[in-house]
Amino acid sequence: QKEVEQDPGPLSVPEGAIVSLNCTYSNSAFQYFMWYRQYSRKGPELLMYTYSSGNKEDGRFTAQVDKSSKYISLFIRDSQPSDSATYLCAMRGSGNTPLVFGKGTRLSVIA
């Protein structure tokens, strides 16, 4: 079993839809959870950064972490064509330990 599992998609939705992306993980030592957005031929851009369980909202984006289920989610409301990208979940334990990434989900928002 891989440490972090993420459905690679592709996921295609119409403009305005609510998008749900998620990852599962196996290492209970993970405490910090991130979502990155990566456009083609660009580096990952940090979208959300959360610690432990709970919800965090930033504009159209909401991140959820459920440590008891080892499950994290990213919701995108009112999706736009400009949201079309690959979304990577990432997580780590305490300190500046390396991130463990999911494989990324390719999202296409169709106008």
Partner 1 sequence: GAVVSQHPSWVICKSGTSVKIECRSLDFQATTMFWYRQFPKQSLMLMATSNEGSKATYEQGVEKDKFLINHASLTLSTLTVTSAHPEDSSFYICSAVGRGTNQPQHFGDGTRLSIL
Binding site for partner 1 (CB under 8 A): 32, 34, 36, 41-46, 49, 51, 88, 90, 94-96, 98-99, 101-104
- Give Dmax over CA atoms of the chain in angstroms: 42
Q: Provide, rounded to whole angstroms, the least separation between the CB of residue 78 and partner 1.
A: 25
Distance CA 101, CA 33 (A): 10
Q: Provide, rounded to whole angstroms, the least separation between the CB of residue 2 and partner 1.
A: 11
The whole-angstrom distance between residue 40's C-alpha and the CA centroid of its chain comes to 17
Q: Which CB atom, from 46 or from 110, has the smaller least distance to partner 1? A: 46
| Burial class of residue 48 in the structure, from the number of CB atoms within 10 Å of its CB (0-12 exposed, 13-18 middle, 19+ buried) | buried
Q: Which CB atom, from 16 or from 93, has the smaller least distance to partner 1? A: 93
Q: Which CB atom, from 79 or from 105, has the smaller least distance to partner 1? A: 105
